[in-house]
Structures are given as C-alpha cells and as structure tokens.
Structure 1
C-alpha cells in the first residue's frame, strides 16, 4: 500500500507496495527483486513472461497464445488496433483512424539586420547553425496562433543583406473538406508573415527591436502548395494484418475515416445478414443465423426463416402416420401368422389321422402343392405347400372298410 511509512531496522522508509509478505521500499538505494523464469523488475513489480505469474514469476501457468499480431505484456495480450479479446481473437467492427496531411509553403524574406557571409552556405558551420536557430525562433513567434504550423526549413541563403528562401511546414488532420481548409491556412500564413515583415523593420537609427528585421517590400509567398497525405488504405491493411487485409476497406462516416470490414454496419460495403450476425473469419465474412422463440433462420444471408410451430406440427403428423402404419403392419403380421399356424395344424391332424387308421390310398387327398417334378422338390417352400394343400373328403365313406387284395405270386418254370 503506497504512501505509508514503516520503520525497519531503526530506519524509517517510504513503503511503495507489498508483494506477498515482502515490503519493497524507497531508500537511498533501490533494491530490485530477483524475478525468476525470465521475468524482469520494473521498479514496482516483476513483469513475468508468458507462462509464469506470481510476485516473483515463480508460478507456472498455461501459456496464452496471442493471436492476430498480439503480444504478451506480462499480464495480458496487447492487441493491435483491429482486434480485441483475451487472445486478440475477435475482430472489431470498425476502427477510427486519424490521417494527417503534410503541406509545405514556399516563402522568401530578406533579413536586413545581419550581413551575408560565405560560411552561411555550409549548413554544418557555426554561422549557419546560429542563424538557423535565431530564424527558427523568430518564425515561431510570427506564426504563433496557427495550429497546423510545424516549423520551417531553410532551403537557401543568398546575398542582399540575407535573402532567406524557406519552406513553412504545415501538418493537419485530413478531412473531406481539407482543400478549402488548407487554402484558409495558407491565407492566414501569408497575412502573418507580411504583417510581421512590415512591422519588424529597422528604425531610423538602424536598430531592430526584434531578433531579426526584414525588408517589408521583399516578402514573397508562393501560392503553389505541396501536399503529402497518408495512404489511408495502406494504414487500414497494416492495422488488419496479413490474414484480414484483403477484407478491410476505408469508410467515411460523420466526416471521420474508419477502417471497416464487410461486417461493419452502415457502409456501402456492409454485408446484409437479415436475421443473423456477421462475423469476419479468415475465409471471409460469414452470417451466423439467429434462432428465436418462433423461428429458425438459415441461408447465406439468414433471410430464409421457418416457423418452429410448423416444423413441430409436420414432425408430429409424420410420427402419427408412421405409428398408424406400424400398427397396421403388426395386425396383418399377427393375422398372417395365426392363419399359417391353423393351416399347419390341419395338415398335421390329417397326417396323424391317416397314420392311425392305416389309410393312405391314392386319391384320398388332393394336394396341388405336391404336383411337381422331383428336380424341383427342394425349391418349394413349406408355406407354398401349406397354402396349396386342399383336403378332399367328399367321396370318402367313413363307415366303409377298404379291401385291399393281396398280390398273387405266380411261379413259372424256366
């Protein structure tokens, strides 16, 4: 806890902070803590590398993979401008950029209170450095009140007392109407330098109250202005990184410039995800469709919806129809099995009756299923036999007895 004082070993010291049970304090000498595992002492705490934590970086923790160009600062991932999240895994919808425009205006003035010398041609000479320092101070006073003023650069010094050709450097934030703004800046600049060179002149005694005095009639301001602006597209692509650069463009909203993606809303390049959320992935922008209490949405732009109640109704009707079909099939199956069982029982009783009475004469039973060739015997199923088995009992007299004549054996001589 900062601000408290503690007496240690008879010496009163200012307590800076506590780490665990250790007190670090300001004294005549700075006592740096021995940070472990590659950590370093910042003057107040150990800054630990990725994978370690604790007051001395003694605790091993899972390594955090900072994505999309993010870097580990000892506590968290420091993300680049277009990304955010614990691992810099999320893409921001848009990022405002403040592009600047640099302009140079050519001006020429004549200094009358100093004499020209050849040493002024050497920009490394003492004479040139002294003159440049004085001239720079004087111009800063003259151009005071112009926010865009950045300084002056002397291009050439020549005879005529000292004729100074120099550039006035201007720097301003770029806006859509910057051209007209720049015209106003140059006009203001011209007014200030001409007023100054008219006032700051030598008096009758050839003395000058300012650092430098000028020839009031020799001041000249060029109307041609050189403008150098930032490449905004390149700035955005640099912010986005290699993986997302091709999806980032420049957008203008409320006279402000933004690096935008197809997932940024309110721009001509915005992707329309009707009932969904746009997410920029490495493969490109994609619509993640929503699911509400009443609808499911799908499609490339999440513009196709289906009512949940309709789906539930169709599924319920389908299940009901399927159940009816299953019931019908079960009834037919049970009926068929019972009928087949009855047929088998009848056939078994007929055979049993014939075996008990010893009556098995041709013509007693007529079975269509047994009228087949011997070669086809193994090909006929039992069901086929039973289905074609038709007992014929109409011409049988159950009271009569069947007389079977025994065959006579005739012996012949050879």
Structure 2
C-alpha cells in the first residue's frame, strides 16, 4: 500500500488512507476522470406557442420585463394558462419569451417534464403538441363567472404551436469547459448525459484498443499495453509488435557494433600504413642526399695554398711598408681553389 503525506485525490476527492473517495460523477484511482454517464432524474421539453389576447390593450411597458406592468401581466397570464394546460401530460408551467403589439401577442414556452424517459418518444411529443393546440383553439376565455369572462380572451384563429424541443440539461451538470463534450442521449431504457467517450453516442471518440477518459482538459485516449503489442498515437491506432521491435533494435545494435569494429580496424591499419609510408619516404630522401654528395666532384686542398689564375705578374703594394712590393707566381688553368 502506498502512503501519501498529502491528499493526492483530485476534483474534491478525499484520501481515506487506502484509496480516494471521489465526489459524485468523478472516478478513477485519483478521481481524475469525470464520469462518462451522468444520470438525470427528469427530462424536459419545451413547446413554443404564440397566442393573441384581445381583452387587453398593448403598452410599451410590457416590453420591459422589470416593469410593474410586465410583472402583473406575467403573473396573471401564468395563472390563466395553468387552467388551459391542466390536462396536458407532464405540464410544468409556462415562461413568457416576448410580448408584442397586436392587440397583445404573447410568445411563451410550455414546459413539459417527464420522469420516465422511455415515454419521451417522438410519438409522445407529437401527441403533446396536438393537445396543447387543441386546448388553445377550444378556449376563448381563460376564466368565466356566471357566463362572463373574467380572465383573458383569446383569438382562437391566431394560435401558433411549434414542434417540441427536448431541453439538454447536461451543460448545467458539468464544468463549463466540458459542456461541449456532453449531450443528452437516449438509450433503450432511459435518458442520460453522455460524454463523447461513451459508446451510446453516434459521434463517440474512437480510441482503437485503448480507452477514452474525460479529464479536466477534455477527452483523452489511454492506449493499451498487451503482451504482444504496444499501442501509440493520439487515438491508439499505431500498433508496435514488441518482439519485432526488440528484434529490430537488437539487429540495429549488432550492425552498429560491427560498423564500429570495422571502423576501428580500418583506422588502425590506416595509421600503421601511413607510418610505414612516411618512414620509407624519409629513408629514400636520405639515400638520395647521400648519393648526391658522393657524385659531386669536389677537390679539397689545404687552406694554406691559394692559387690565382693570371698570365702575367701581379704586383701587390704592401700596405704596411710603403715602397715595398712582392711578386706571386700563378699557375695557369685554375680558377680558384678553397
């Protein structure tokens, strides 16, 4: 068992001494993953409806949802519409979206809530829309006493009912930066908020043989490591055979070793050959120099005899004793000897 001096758990999880106890909708050894499925109790749908009220006159104050006129009108309208929509299955209430002139045209959403998501089929929603439209067209007065209309009076010919739209509540159940990765998804038995990692979605993220996990920064593929393969890449689509990789690396290392060995042998041979070549070249140069000195015709004489070539008699004045002179005989045929 690994002991931690501080709480290693993420996303609000707590360490109990043995493992992390995660907050709701989080899982993983360190509570690092947001759940792929978030359960929802109720499923909502809205039906946009437009009705024309002829019993009251329009005023600009009705455009301001902070004005007293709007608040009073809104309260009365909601009370009267609760009466009209009372027989609609799953009716929860109405929400005014806009008030327009003519006499008063009220655009509002009829909110339908169903606890059993199996009932939220296209047929069920279509039938709900028909009930809403029928209730409005069969009602001209929302409340009457003694035959007199005390509530709103409707123009039954000016009723518009749109198709039902299922409300995606998933965005309110996850962090803001992860809203884009969750959406309302209907399975065989219920409605769930499914992440992009969940296979129930048609656009689920495919991670090959790996597993998709929803982290705080978004979805991420975690690749498998099997006995025979390593899986790599953003989507675990690159399969590397372990034995093949090990064999390839071994062969590469052996080839590299042989190349280094051959290079070492070559360098040793090259240095030895170069050394022998330089030695032979030096010997040859020394031999050539010796032979050249032997072939040169030089005659060595005593430094005491100097013979100068001259056909006549040369007189040299004695620089020491003026007036005295001497004569030197020169042997013909020699330039100089030194």
TM-score (norm 1): 0.40
- Greater relative contact order (Cα < 8 A, sep 6+): 2
- From the CA coordinates, give the structure whose radius of gyration is larger: 2
TM-score (norm 2): 0.47
